[in-house]
Structures are given as structure tokens and as C-alpha cells.
Structure 1
């Protein structure tokens, strides 16, 4: 006669990832207290209240999958991730006091669609990817992420996963894709995924990044000193205040080749700075030449993943910080790289003050997304190199710009031997010749960075 507990274990072992996720959500104890949004999340939520249906805070990633694909295993791997990460089962609602808080999704935690683009039509494939990335989220209903599998041919698919920034950051994209591929590999081979358990709950991770009041006050004093007398905007060459520039924009993608990347990487290593700082330095030098400004402030996003509870947790654990660089005389490559590297390191070290508090402290809270600066530089946490997993060949599929949150932005994605750069801009901020020039200038500067000083 079968013992009841043995029979129960056997029945649990037969559950699909979708069924396990539903069971886990149903059996989870109710939270002891409401989980409010972090300051960064609150700023995003407030923007959504002012511009409902906006796509400005969509966070998409897409990969092209070539080879024999098991669509059922894809679906089960997505459900496995939903059961593993509480943020993927969250929505945002207002409590009795009208404040936004996390709440569990009432219905399915996975929004997954499968569509087909016949005839290997690349233009139609791009439109399908873009449409999925742009579809608005309902914050109160949830879920705040979705996935679409688009079939171009029997052995050619694109998987596009779109998160709302309320539950994700740049770190999330890389983490999710790594875990998804591990889960898919197991499920497509008929095995149960065996990823290590998460070190903490989502609520614990959110609470772990709250900075003590004394430390926040210290960092806030630091930011007041750093930004004293700083310019409030970069006068981009094509920007005219009377243009009535909106949020529509475009992007230009270019790649620093192997030789250019190797030269810049060597120059950064010799000066003890990050590759991100090196590319930022070259970008600031281009801005200086075209604006005449030697004192420049840009913003960047820093993932606050210092607490162990956050390392393997999907969620929005980021903050925006200013980077102020007083540029040296033109041609002083060593000082350019050194000053930029020091400024980036300083910004990261004082990233524990919510950006809204920094803006308020320097009198720029009313400027919205362009507070402190109208130019942003970002580091992408997605592998840009080709990968192989579970019999598939994976390459990144570029998702077109959805909406531009700033006048100008540079997204930097380092690979093994190349650096992918995407220049994002609002309509009217740069003329066509400026767009072409920034590509030429950064490529030439990267190549020159590794050359001996003369």
C-alpha cells in the first residue's frame, strides 16, 4: 500500500512548471505588511499616472533562436521563472491611503503568445517584435511582464521578453535570460530545472536596499557639493528650445570593432578604470567639441545589487545618479580618461540617495526626466555575443527604440572583443551630420586611445 506522503511527493513531481507556479502562489502566506514601492519605483509609478499608457518605462530584450525549438518547453520555462521570482507575479495597486504598493496578480502570472511571420519576412518580423515591446501594461491588473515567441521559419524564432521597469532593471535582463536558458535546457531534455534556491524573498530584497538615514544624509551633502554651480543642461548642437521637442525619437547603432575595442580596453586597464568609463570619456569629449562646454553633467543608472539578497532576484533595484566631469584641455587623453573614471566611480559610491532627493536638493525637482541633465549614458547587462545552448544558436535581436526619455542617450553593451553602442535621441536634438560624426569620432578616438602617447 502506497504511503500518503510518498504518493503526494510523486504527484508534486509530475506537476508542470506552470502548475507549480500556480500552486506556490496559492499556498504563499499573505504578507505581514504592505510592501511599498522604493523611491525609484515610486518615480516610475508617478510618471505612469501622469502619462498613462506610456511605453517610456518598458524594458524589452529579444534573442534570435536558430535551431530546433520546443515551444512547449519555452512556455514551461517561462512559468518556471514566474514561480521562482515573486516580482513576476506582482502588480501595483493603491492602498486605502492612495499610496502605491505591491500586490499579487489575481490571474495568470505569464502573458505568453506565439505568432508566425511566414516567408522569412525580416520587415514583418521587426514589426512583430516592436508591437510586442510597445503594447502597454495595465499596472493594476498585471502581470508587469510578457513574452512573445515569433516564428520566422521552423528553425528560426525570436523570443521577445518585455518587462515594466517597475519590476525590472538592466541587471534583470541578463539574469532572466541566463535562468530561462538553463530552465529551457532542462525541460526540453525532459528534466526538471534544478536552479539553486533564491537566498531571500522579493520583499526581503526590496527592504535590503533601503539606505540608513544617516548614510543618505551624508551622500546628499556630497551631491550638493558635487553639483554646486553645475550647468543644468548640455546645449546640444541641433537643439532649439522653441522646437517643442516631444518624446518621439530614433536611434543609431554602431560597433567599435575588435582593434578599436582592444585599444580602448588596454588604455582603460592601464589607468585602472572601467571600459564603460572609457567609452563615456570619448562621448563627453565629442559633446565638448560640439557644444563648447568643458563642464559637463550626464546621468547614468546604477544597479544597487550590493546586498546579497538582491544578487539573484528579479526586480527594480536601481538608482539614477549624476556624473559631473570638468574636462581637461582638448588632446589630453590621460586626464580625460582619468577624470571621467574618477567621476563615474564617485557617482557609483554615492548611489544610495534616491535621484528625486538629489534633484530636490539642487532645485531641479520640477524638471522631470531631464532634471540634472538632458543626456544619459547607460551600461547594458545583456550578453551581446553569440551563444549556444540546448542545441540552439542564440544572438541578440535589437529591439527598436520605443520612446526617448532624454534628449540624448548612449547605451553601451560590451562584448568579448567588440562594443555595441546605441545612440538614442529625441527628434530635433541632432542633425544627420552630427549623428554620422559621433560614430566616426568615437571609432577614431577608441582606436587612438590604445596608441602610445606622443
Structure 2
């Protein structure tokens, strides 16, 4: 008898999108590691097999039962890592890069294939690239840290002839979905529902910024991105201003992003989606799985307010959103029942995400391991700004719909954000109006 469980609301949304856009790689998560040294492939396979055994979400498929998706957990089996040898190619590195693009763009069959797909590309006897490709329906950013840590622990231990010391799995992701399903009728959720209905009752259906091209009738999810660094001195000022306002760095970044939206759109308020992790119990922190929820930040941006005052507004808005994060975004959309338009994402079209700490990478004894950025060439919404703080530095990634924006415009937007953030944090008592470009 198959191990059959309910899906989380977030999983149901991704499953539905996969049905509406079959073959789209928009929710593929590509991890690519450059491995130089004496890589023991059998030990790597054994290590990955153990991680997949420990976390049943990685060997889950999605089947329709009574016209609804269900999680079906497959029994654990040894994981085999296909090896593609490109050493004989005229340009092995170029061939590896071609394979990386193809692998990141290759969709998952949610009905048949487990949610992790390994591939090893051999450029030379002591040079490899390891692809670990996952689907977002089975993981989030936190999960990737767990995956790296456990894979490294197993490899290191078995390479030394020892058993890995990993804590037993008291619960699985399927236990979380059962727990969450039971909470969907709780008073906490009803209070959250009431809060969001009032907060977003008269929000505009489309709150975005002017684009270079007309919006297609159907969202294609084709996209690209720009990576950038924020100057260390500006990053330091972000932290200082956050502490002075009793806020987090996210609130400062939210205020700056909202100001940027006002500068480019002229709108007096910004409506921004923000991903948050919904790991409510201690056991959730040790699981791989899709724990992300999305909350909506609705922030007025008056020209007469100072930037410091806007940071206070952003702090309060963020706290309220987090307090009421129990309502899954998917249920919020059902309750708001906005006009559905296949041309754009419901409720918000702009996103901001912030996280502390980058992926550490894999620690494989005898090998030097580095990360290579994978790219699915997709965009989930019109524009999405991600900022990661690591080692006292802020790194940014601006993902944009290539149907709407030209690359030159994306570069202009990220430059404007960096300039605005530098100006606002150097003098937080400046008015928002003085930070906006002249008409």
C-alpha cells in the first residue's frame, strides 16, 4: 500500500501551476558544485542515498486521488548518480556549461520522478561538476542548508570508515502537512484570515512598475537576472539604521524598495510579496521540505515622510505580516477572490526577499569544492529583488520578466536601488520626496 498523504497549500499551488504550464522549469532549483580533487563517487552515491532515505519528501511523487493531488512516498532505494564524461570534448568547460543550462531547464514529472535529480559531469579525472537539481515543491532555502550539511557529514564519515552521526528523524514532511491541515480550522488561522481580508480589501489588483513591453496575455515565466553587490559601507549603514529604529535590516531594505517603486511608478503605496519560512516547531527545523509561505507587505510611501519614518512604517508592517503569517497565501487568494488574469500573479507582482547567510557548499575531504550559479532563465513575477547578507556583506539578485523588461532596464533598476539605498542610509532624515528623481 502506497504511503499517501495530503499536500500542503503551497505544494498544491506549485502542482497546479505545473499542470497549467507543463514543462516549465520555473520552480526547478539547480545546485551546481565544482569539485576539484579525488572524488569518491561510490561514497558520494551512498551519502546521497542516505539523505534521500532520511527525508521522505525527496522520494515523494504527486498522484491524483479523488480529483485532488496527494503525496505518495516511494520506498527508499539506492541513488545512482549518472556520470557524463566530457573530457574528450574540444572544450570540456563549454560542454559542462551547456549541460548545466540543459539540466536547469529540464522539468520534473511530478507524477513519476522523485524530487531530486543528481548528475555528475567529469571534465578530467580530478575535475568534476556535481549537479543536484530539486523541485521547489520539495524544498526551500533552509532545506538546501540541511541537504549540504547532511551530505557532507555522510561523505566525510564513510570516507573515514565511520558511521555518520546524524540525529534521528523524529518527524517527516508528511507529518508537517498532516499537522498543518489540522490547523487550518484553528482560531489563529481565522484571526489571520480576518486581518488579511481587511488589510488587502481595497489593494490594487495590479501594483507594479512601468515596463518596456506590453504585458503578454498569458504569463510565460521567461526571465533573466542581474547580480550585484552592495558597498560594504552602505551595508554597515543599513545595520546601524536598523538598530537605531528597533528594526531588522529587512525593514530598511523594504523601505528602500518601496521608495524605488514609488520613484518608477509614481504610486503612493507599494504592494510587495515576501517569502517567509513557516517552521513553527523544533522538529521542522531539521527537515527538508517546502515550508515557505508568502505574506504581503502594503506600504504607504508619502513624499513628506523621512526615510527613517518609512523604515518605522516598514518595521511595523513587517511585524504585523509575520504575526499573521499562519494563513497560507493560497488560502488568502481564495478568500480575496481577485479577478484571475493569466497575464500576472494574483495580489502582487513585485517581490522582496532577504536572508542571512549563503549556502556553505559541500565539504568533501580531499576535494576543493566551489559553487556555480545555476540559472533556469525564468521569473516568477514581474520583478523580484533578493538580498543575502553573508560575512558582513550584502549580495543582491534582481530577477525580472524578460517579456516585460529589457536587460538595460534591469541594470538601471538595480543601480537605482543601490544609489537610493546609499543616499537614504547616509541621511535617513531626508524626505522621500528628496530621494525621488525630478519629474
| Bucket of the pairwise TM-score, normalised by the shorter protein | 0.7 to 0.9
Question: Deviation at 1:387?
Answer: 7.6
SS in structure 1 of the partner of residue 340 of structure 2: helix
RMSD after superposition: 2.7
Alignment check: 8 A CA contact 2:222 2:403 kept: no
Runs of 4+ in 1 over 4 A off after TM superposition: 106-109, 119-122, 239-245, 384-389
Task: Specify the SS of the correspondent of 2:63.
Answer: strand
SS in 2 for 1:253: strand
Equivalent of residue 269 in structure 2, options 295, 305, 322: 295
Which aligned pairs between 1:119-268 and structure 2 lie closer than 5 A?
Answer: 121-210=92-181, 211-213=183-185, 214-241=187-214, 243-244=216-217, 246-268=220-242
Residues 48 and 453 of structure 1: CA distance in aligned 2, closer, same or farther (over 3 Å): closer
The 5-angstrom pairing of residues 34-53 of structure 1 reads 34-53=4-23
Change (3 A) 1:411 1:49: same
CA contact (8 A) 2:351 2:383 kept: yes
Query: Is residue 373 of structure 1 aligned with residue 348 of structure 2?
Result: yes
What TM-score results when the alignment is normalised by the length of structure 1? 0.85
8 Å CA contact 2:26, 2:376 repeated in 1: no
Structure 2 Cα separation of the partners of residues 416 and 318 of structure 1: 24
For 2:2 and 2:362, the matched residues in 1 are separated by 40
Contact 2:354 2:386 in 1 (8 A): yes
Match of 1:308 among 279, 282, 286: 282
5+ residue gaps, structure 1, are 1-28
| Post-superposition CA distance 1:14-70 (Å, at most 9, x none) | xxxxxxxxxxxxxxx965xx4111111111111222222221221222233344322
Name whichever of 175-184 and 361-370 sits farther off. 361-370
Of 314, 317, 325, which residue of structure 2 is paired with 1:343?
317
Q: Provide structure 2 residue ranges, at least 5 long, that are not aligned to the other structure.
A: 430-439
Indicate yes or no: 2:69 matched with 1:92.
no
C-alpha distance after superposition, 1:124-176 (max 9, x if no partner): 33222222222221222121211222334444433222211221122211221
Higher relative contact order (CA 8 A, sep 6+): 2
**Greater shift after overlay, 436-445 or 414-423?**
436-445
**By how many angstroms is 1:334 displaced?**
0.6
Distance verdict in 2 for CA 1:124–1:158, change over 3 Å? same
Q: Distance in 2 between matches of 1:99 and 1:412?
A: 36
Aligned length: 423
